[in-house]
Structure 1
Amino acid sequence: MDFSKKINATRRYNNNPNANISDQFESDRGRIIQSAAIRRLQQKTQVFPLERNSAVRSRLTHSLEVQQTGRHIVRTIFKKLGADAKQYGLDSLEREIESLVEMSCLMHDIGNPPFGHFGEAAINHWFNNHLDKHVLFSQADNKMLSLQIKQELKSFEGNAQAFRIIFNLLKLNLTYSQAASILKYTRCGLDMRPEKDKPLSYLKKKVGFYYSELDDITLLCDHLEVKPGHRFPLAYLMEAADDISYCLADIEDGVEKGILNCKHLAELLKSTFTRLSNEESDPAFLKGKSFHQAVDYALARAEKEPINKTHEFFVWLRVQLIHPLVEHAASSFIDNIQHVYDGDLNRALLEDDSLFHQMISTFKEVAIKYIFSTNEVETKELQGYRIITGLLDTYEPLLLMRTEQFQNMVSGEKGGGLIEARLFKRLPKKHLKAYQQALLPLVDKPDFKLHEFYYRCRLIQDNISGMTDQYALEEYQNLYVG
C-alpha cells in the first residue's frame, strides 16, 4: 500500500512530468473555483427550490460547508496517524490530500440539475416517457448497445453529469487525482445496477459516469491504478464530509423557514435517536455526553440567548455532534485503510453499526418526515417538475428530427422547420461544440445514427441540467407566455 502512487499530477493534456505536485494541485484549485460550474451553484437548490431567503442554503453554500468538513477530516486523519503515515506512503502528502479533498467537496454537486434531486427525477421521467417512440433504437445494427444507450438516457444522474462537465463541457483538464476524488459511484450508465448481495454493489448502486466519458474514466483509472468498479480512496472522504454536512444543515434550513422550532426539533431528535439506536442508557459517546444530553445542552444555551436563539441552538448542536462525527469518519478511514486504498470498501465510512451512524440516520429521518414532506417543499418541487418537463417538451422537436436534418443544421445549412431553427439557436454554443467533437471520430463507424442521436439527447440534457433554478424558471416563462 503506497498512497503516493495514487496522488500524482498526471493530466489528460499538457502534462509536465517535472512539475511540482503542490503547484499542480494549486492549479486545479484555480480552475475549479473560477469555473462557471461553481458559480452556478449559487442559484441551484439545496432543499428549497427558488428560495428567496438568503440565509437558507444554496448548493454553493452547502458545498462550502462540505469543503470545510472535508478539510477537517483530512487533518484529523493525519493527526491520528502521526508517524504511522509513513508506512502508508502518506508522509509529506497532508497538504496535497487536503487540497484534493477540499476541491472534490466543492465540486461534488456541479452536475446537479435545477431543483435538485427532483430535477433529476423530472428529466428521467420525461425520457422514460418519450424515448420509446424513436424507431432509431430498433433499427440499429448493434441491438445490445442500442438497449444500453436507451437505458442510460433514462438514467440522468448528477454525479455522472459532473464528469461530463469536467472532461467534455468545460474541459477543465484537472489532474486525474483531483477528478477521481469525486468518483462516488463506479458504474457506467450502460451497465445494469447489481443486486445488493453482489460485490461492489454499494459503489455501483447509481450511475457514476456516462458512456460519453467512458474513455476518460478508463484512462483515469489506468493512471491511478484503480481497478474497474472500484473507488479512488479520497472519494470516501468527500462522501463522508457530505454526509456529515447536509444532514444537520437541511434541518437548520427548515427551522430558519419556520417549519419547526428548536424545542419541537429537540424532542423529535431525541425520540427518533432512541428508537433507531435501541440504546436504553444512551451511552456517553459524544465526548462524555449522551445524544440526549447534547441536544438538551444546545437547547438550554438557546433559551439563554436573548437575540438569536436558533443560531445559538445550532452552533452548540454542531459543536457537540459534528466534531465527534469527523473523528469517527477519520477513525473509520484508518481502520479500513487497506480496503479504502483498494477502493473496494462496499459502504460509506459512516455506514457502520455505530451510534454515530444512528445519529446520521436520525437527522435524515427527521428531515425527510418533517421538512422534505411539507406542503411548501412539495409544492416547489412540483413547480420544478413542471418547469423541467415543459422545457423538455419545448425542445423535443430537435430530437424528432432525422439525423441528416439535424446534422445539416449543425453545419449551418437548412435542416429543419421554423420551430427547429429557433430552438437550435437557443442551444449554448459550448454544448454544440461538445456534441460535434464527440461525433468527429464516429462519422464512418457503424451505427453512426445511433451515436448521433445519443449525443443529441446528451446535448438537450446538458442544456437543461446546466440551468440554474432561476434561469430555468425564466426560460419556461419566456417560452410559455400566459
Structure 2
Amino acid sequence: MEYDYKSKLCTLRMRNSTVNRSSIVDEFYSDRSRIIYSSSFRRLQQKAQVFSLEPNSSVRTRLTHSIEVSDLGRTLANKIGYKLYEAKIIEESMVPMIVAVVENACLLHDIGNPPFGHFGEAAIQEWARTYLGELADKAQVQTNDLFNLLISDFREFDGNPQGFRIISKLHCEQDEHSLNLTYATLLCGLKYSRASGEEKGAGIFKKAGYFQSEKEHVEKIYKDMGMEKHHRYPLTYIMEAADDIAYCLSDISDGIEKRIITSNDFLNEFKKIWKEEYKGIPCPVDIPESISNFSMDVSVKWSRKIINEAADNYIENHDLFYNGKAYQLIPEDGLGRVLEIIKQVSRKLLYKSDEAENIELTGYAVITGLLNHFSRLLSLKLEDFTSLINDNKAQSGNTLDLEKRLFNRLGERYVKSYIYETRKLDRTDPEFVVKEWWLRTHLIIDHINGMTDDFALDTYQMLTGIKTNVY
C-alpha cells in the first residue's frame, strides 16, 4: 500500500496567506504563532482544568494543561515520526512537520471549552433541550425539520466542535477566515468525525466533532485533501493520546497539591482497583512502594512507558491509523488499562470531593443563569433583533431598552462573525428566518462560551444585581 503523508501535511488555507514562506514546516510554525497569540488561547489561563476559580497558581488551568499536552504530543510525534522514517514510509525532512502539526493540535484541543468545563457544556445542552423551542415560538420562528437539525449544534454542544468554530470563524478581527490555519492543523484537531445531528456511534462518532455551522467548511477540507469523509486524520490519534496521558496524571497531581488526596491515597486505591479488575495479571508499570514525589516517581516514569507503547502500536497497526479507522493509540489491553485505573481513582477520590462538586454546581448555575438572561435576544422577532444590529428603533415601537443593553454586552468579534454569516444567507430563501435565528443562537453561546470562569461569575452577579461592576 502507498502511504502519502505529503498530502496529509497540507498547507492549504481557506484564504491564501499574505506571507510567502520558504519551507512547509514554517507554515505550521505560523499556525502555532496564530494560536498562542490569540485571545482565546490566553483566556485558557482562567478556565479550570478541574478546579474552577482556583487561587493556588500551582494547580493547572486549561492553559497549563494545554502546554503539557503539547509537550507530550511533541515527544510522541517525534518518536512516531522517526519510526516512520526508519520504516521508509516518510522522508526524514517530514518528521519536524509531523511534530509541528501535532503540537498545534495539542495547543488547540481545549480552546473551545466553556467556563466551568464539562458542567458548562452540560448546562448549555440542558438549556438548549429545555428552552430553544419556546424561545423560537416567541420569535415566530418555524420549528420544522431544518430547525431541529440546526439546533442539534446546541443540544449536542461540546468544547470540541466549539473549538473548531473558534479557530475557523470567530477570530474575525482581520476577516471572516478567523485564524486561517492550515488544513493539516485544522484536521489534526478534529477529535470526532461527524457533525452534530448525524448518527451517533462508538469511538470517533461518540460525539460531534463539528457543528452544522461548520459542516461545509469541514467537507471542503476533506474534498481538497482527497480524504474520505468521516475518517479520522491519522495524526489526531497522537494528539488524543497526549491528552489522555496528561489529564489522567495531572488531575491526580492537582488533587495532591490541593491536599484533597495524598500520594499514598492514590497508591493504595490504584493497587486495590488493579487487583479487583485484573486478578493475577501483573501491572505493566512499576508501582512504587511509596511515593515521595508524584511527578518523578509516577508521572514521568509511567508516561514515558505509555509513550513508547503508543509509538510501537502506531507502527504495528499503521494501516488502521493512516486510514483513520483505528480506535485509539494507547492499546486498551496494554497501558490503556493503567490510564483507565487512574481515571477510576480520580472519579472516586477527586471528582466527588466537596470542593470539586461545589464548584461544579456553582458553574452550572452561572452558565444557566447567563443563558436565561441573554435569551431575551432570542425571543425577539427578526426585525427587532435587526434593529439592535443597526442601532435603530425597534420596528414594533418597543424601545427594547433591556435588550439593547444585553446586546451591547456581546463581544464585538462574535457580532462581527454573526454579520459575516448572515450576509451569506439568501434573504429570499423561505428558511431564512430559521437560519438567521440559528446563527443568532450561536452568537449568544459564542459570547458566553468565550468567557473565563471569573468573568462568567462576575457577569452573572452583575445581571442578577449582586454587583455593579464587571471588569
Q: Please, what TM-score do these two structures have when normalized by structure 1?
A: 0.90
Q: Spell out, residue by residue over 1:302-351, the C-alpha distance to the aligned partner (whole angstroms, 9 max, x if none).
A: 1xxxxxxxxx2331212321101001111121122111111122x22125
Q: Who is 1:306 aligned against?
A: none
SS at match of 1:193: coil
- Cα deviation for residue 276 of structure 1 reads 2.7
SS at match of 2:378: helix
Instruction: Say whether 1:367 aligns with 2:349.
Output: no
| Distance in structure 2 (CA, Å) of the matches to 1:67 and 1:365 | 24
Q: Who is 1:330 aligned against?
A: 311
Query: For the Cα contact (< 8 Å) 2:121–2:159, is it kept in 1?
Result: yes
| Distance in structure 2 (CA, Å) of the matches to 1:79 and 1:410 | 54
Moved more, 27-36 or 137-146: 137-146
- Cα deviation for residue 467 of structure 1 reads 0.2
Instruction: Say whether 1:49 aligns with 2:52.
Output: yes
The amino acid of 2:288's aligned partner reads V
Instruction: Say whether 1:390 aligns with 2:373.
Output: no
Query: For the Cα contact (< 8 Å) 1:6–1:225, is it kept in 2?
Result: no
Moved more, 260-269 or 180-189: 260-269
The amino acid of 1:155's aligned partner reads E
SS at match of 1:414: coil
- Cα deviation for residue 366 of structure 1 reads 0.3
| Distance in structure 2 (CA, Å) of the matches to 1:25 and 1:376 | 40
| Distance in structure 2 (CA, Å) of the matches to 1:268 and 1:91 | 44
Q: Who is 1:211 aligned against?
A: 212
Q: Who is 1:175 aligned against?
A: 182
| Distance in structure 2 (CA, Å) of the matches to 1:27 and 1:10 | 13
Counterparts in 2 of 1:239-318, with a 5 A limit? 239-278=240-279, 280=280, 282=282, 285-286=284-285, 291=286, 294-296=287-289, 299=291, 302=292, 312-318=293-299
Q: Who is 2:232 aligned against?
A: 231
Query: For the Cα contact (< 8 Å) 2:190–2:236, is it kept in 1?
Result: yes
Q: Who is 2:199 aligned against?
A: 192
Q: Who is 2:175 aligned against?
A: none
Q: Who is 1:473 aligned against?
A: 457
Residues 413, 139 of structure 1: alpha-carbon distance in 2 compared, 3 angstrom cutoff: closer
- Cα deviation for residue 54 of structure 1 reads 0.6
Query: For the Cα contact (< 8 Å) 1:28–1:175, is it kept in 2?
Result: yes
| Distance in structure 2 (CA, Å) of the matches to 1:83 and 1:192 | 40
The amino acid of 2:295's aligned partner reads F
Query: For the Cα contact (< 8 Å) 1:29–1:103, is it kept in 2?
Result: yes
Query: For the Cα contact (< 8 Å) 1:439–1:452, is it kept in 2?
Result: yes
Residues 134, 478 of structure 1: alpha-carbon distance in 2 compared, 3 angstrom cutoff: closer
Counterparts in 2 of 1:405-420, with a 5 A limit? 405-415=384-394, 417-420=400-403
- Cα deviation for residue 142 of structure 1 reads 8.8
Q: Who is 2:76 aligned against?
A: 73
Q: Spell out, residue by residue over 1:428-469, the C-alpha distance to the aligned partner (whole angstroms, 9 max, x if none).
A: 111011111111121232300000110010001001000000
Q: Please, what TM-score do these two structures have when normalized by structure 2?
A: 0.92
Query: For the Cα contact (< 8 Å) 1:32–1:172, is it kept in 2?
Result: yes
| Distance in structure 1 (CA, Å) of the matches to 2:417 and 2:85 | 46
Query: For the Cα contact (< 8 Å) 1:138–1:146, is it kept in 2?
Result: no
Q: Who is 1:305 aligned against?
A: none
| Distance in structure 1 (CA, Å) of the matches to 2:84 and 2:23 | 25
Q: Who is 2:329 aligned against?
A: 349
Q: Spell out, residue by residue over 1:42-68, the C-alpha distance to the aligned partner (whole angstroms, 9 max, x if none).
A: 000100111111111000111111011
The amino acid of 1:268's aligned partner reads E
SS at match of 2:92: coil
Query: For the Cα contact (< 8 Å) 1:137–1:450, is it kept in 2?
Result: no
Moved more, 50-59 or 259-268: 259-268
Query: For the Cα contact (< 8 Å) 1:181–1:234, is it kept in 2?
Result: yes
Among 320, 331, 346, which residue is 1:339 paired with?
320
Residues 81, 274 of structure 1: alpha-carbon distance in 2 compared, 3 angstrom cutoff: farther
List gaps (5 residues or longer) in structure 1: 195-200, 303-311
- Cα deviation for residue 96 of structure 1 reads 0.9
- Cα deviation for residue 81 of structure 1 reads 4.0
Residues 116, 406 of structure 1: alpha-carbon distance in 2 compared, 3 angstrom cutoff: same
| Distance in structure 2 (CA, Å) of the matches to 1:477 and 1:440 | 35
Q: Who is 2:436 aligned against?
A: 452
Q: Who is 1:37 aligned against?
A: 40
SS at match of 1:368: helix
| Distance in structure 2 (CA, Å) of the matches to 1:281 and 1:440 | 62
| Distance in structure 2 (CA, Å) of the matches to 1:82 and 1:166 | 31
Q: Spell out, residue by residue over 1:399-428, the C-alpha distance to the aligned partner (whole angstroms, 9 max, x if none).
A: 100011101211221225111111111111
Supply the RMSD in Å over aligned alpha carbons.
1.9
- Cα deviation for residue 82 of structure 1 reads 4.6
Query: For the Cα contact (< 8 Å) 1:41–1:58, is it kept in 2?
Result: yes
| Distance in structure 1 (CA, Å) of the matches to 2:25 and 2:281 | 48
Q: Spell out, residue by residue over 1:73-95, the C-alpha distance to the aligned partner (whole angstroms, 9 max, x if none).
A: 012213434521x3x23532111
Q: Who is 1:379 aligned against?
A: 358
Moved over 6 A (4+): 137-142
Counterparts in 2 of 1:127-146, with a 5 A limit? 127-135=128-136, 143-146=144-147
Among 438, 441, 465, which residue is 2:421 paired with?
438
| Distance in structure 2 (CA, Å) of the matches to 1:444 and 1:218 | 25
| Distance in structure 1 (CA, Å) of the matches to 2:278 and 2:416 | 53
Q: Spell out, residue by residue over 1:215-258, the C-alpha distance to the aligned partner (whole angstroms, 9 max, x if none).
A: 11111111222211111111110000000111011011111111
Moved more, 360-369 or 331-340: 331-340
- Cα deviation for residue 353 of structure 1 reads 1.7
- Equivalent residue pairs, number: 452
Q: Who is 1:11 aligned against?
A: 13
The amino acid of 1:164's aligned partner reads R
| Distance in structure 2 (CA, Å) of the matches to 1:335 and 1:136 | 55
Q: Who is 1:109 aligned against?
A: 110
| Distance in structure 1 (CA, Å) of the matches to 2:34 and 2:83 | 32
Residues 386, 140 of structure 1: alpha-carbon distance in 2 compared, 3 angstrom cutoff: closer
Q: Who is 1:125 aligned against?
A: 126
